[in-house]
Structure 1
Amino acid sequence: MALGGCSDFVKKAEFDSAITELRNNDQRQQQEIDAIKQEMQQRFAKYDAAIAEMQGRIRVDTIALFDTDKADLRDQDKAMLDDYAKVLKEHHTSALVTVEGFTDPSGSAAHNYRLGMRRAQAVRNYLVQTGGLPDSQVRAVSYGQAKNRQVVAGAYGDKGLPNRRVALVVDFNGGAEGAPATPTTTDTGNSSG
């Protein structure tokens, strides 16, 4: 009976093995992150893209910029998106990409949220349809005119171009679940960034 109480304990060897496996997985993921960051920095140096590493993720800023109140991809941004998709398809098939859409602060928050989503969806669709990335590997989100995410605080018009952007985040933390639901807010009819 006393031995029955010990059945819930894990053997030290099994515990040590599990810890070693977790450390190896962490090390492998960090190597994947380092590899993609290095390759993207080399390929995107010509595009003046900012690439930063965050906990288990890589963020590529200024991947696509947009005209005021537009969600159409510019031709000059398509080449970078082509390179981006090529890197992921060739070397990082397990990565999950989040396309983040932003606007400048002109117009209403609701309109800008939807505009940010249309921009994110335009880039997402381009990466899937033209870049050949799997649909389940790329999702889109909108931050609209979020003040804490503006590149040039409060800027709009010509000076606000850096705010009217899409950023890409590469995540290695598990499987792709598909794109989140599209926003359900209603348009107020205001023009926006």
Structure 2
Amino acid sequence: MVTRTFRNAGLVVALSAATLAGCSSYIKRDEFDSTVADLRATDQKLQSQIDSLSQKHDALVTQLAGRVRVETGAHFATGDASLNEEDKPFLDDFARVIKDNHSDALITIEGFTDPAGSAVANRRLGLQRAQAVRDYLVSSGLGAQQVRAVSYGEDQNRQVRAGAIGDAGRDNRRVSLVVDYAGVAMQNTAPPAG
């Protein structure tokens, strides 16, 4: 019985030592707080830059659960996925802000259509629109791996003007730019002296 007690005590001591040794790999609270503060600063900086773009280009920008959404990335003619010249200056500025300040950012381009046509054709057209904007942003210097395209087609709960087509449905024929992840803040400091 005494041997069993010593054996159990030895097992408890060994498990405690192993547990405490594993704790040494945890991040310290001040390092964690510093990382969180850096991420919040990066998000605030991105939001400020997107707000500036919004004022310059009259775009609607919202922040949803850590994501930044730009609702007016580009608009399209009925049945067309060609990028308009009038949308390119905004997209150029957007690409420049992301490239210069948030090179790790992850962007989702969401494509939409008005409800004219079949749901299948509209889903395909929405993707073509999103890909056109994606390709333009990549040609403007963003990394292909950081910009992805998705389509919502004519999804009713995503229409700006419910059921509107033709001229009235222009706001439905659009792409939205969503910054899913802003990345780590880039430091504008000189390299250390060597």
TM range (shorter): 0.7 to 0.9
Task: Report the equivalent of 1:110.
Answer: 120
CA shift at 1:46, angstroms? 2.7
- Structure ID, larger Rg: 2
Question: Counterpart of 1:82 in structure 2: which amino acid?
Answer: D
Alignment of 1:167 with 2:176, yes or no, is yes
Asked if 2 retains the 8 angstrom alpha-carbon contact of 1:112 and 1:145, the reply is yes
TM-score of the pair, normalised by structure 2: 0.82
CA RMSD for the aligned pairs?
2.1
Residue in structure 2 matching 1:140, options 149, 165, 182: 149
Asked if 1 retains the 8 angstrom alpha-carbon contact of 2:102 and 2:182, the reply is no
Higher helix share: 2
Alignment of 1:58 with 2:65, yes or no, is no
Change (3 A) 1:152 1:20: farther
CA shift at 1:25, angstroms? 2.5
Asked if 2 retains the 8 angstrom alpha-carbon contact of 1:56 and 1:173, the reply is no
Q: Among the aligned pairs, what percent are the same residue?
A: 45
Q: Which runs of 5+ in 1 are unaligned?
A: 176-193
Change (3 A) 1:45 1:10: farther
Asked if 1 retains the 8 angstrom alpha-carbon contact of 2:42 and 2:183, the reply is no
Count residues in correspondence.
Answer: 173
What SS does the aligned partner of 2:71 have? strand
Residue in structure 1 matching 2:100, options 90, 100, 110: 90
CA shift at 1:171, angstroms? 2.1
TM-score of the pair, normalised by structure 1: 0.82
The runs of at least 4 aligned residues of structure 1 exceeding 4 Å deviation read: 9-16
Asked if 1 retains the 8 angstrom alpha-carbon contact of 2:104 and 2:182, the reply is no
Q: Which runs of 5+ in 2 are unaligned?
A: 1-9, 185-194
Asked if 1 retains the 8 angstrom alpha-carbon contact of 2:43 and 2:182, the reply is no
Distance 1:37 1:112 in 2: 31
Change (3 A) 1:78 1:69: same
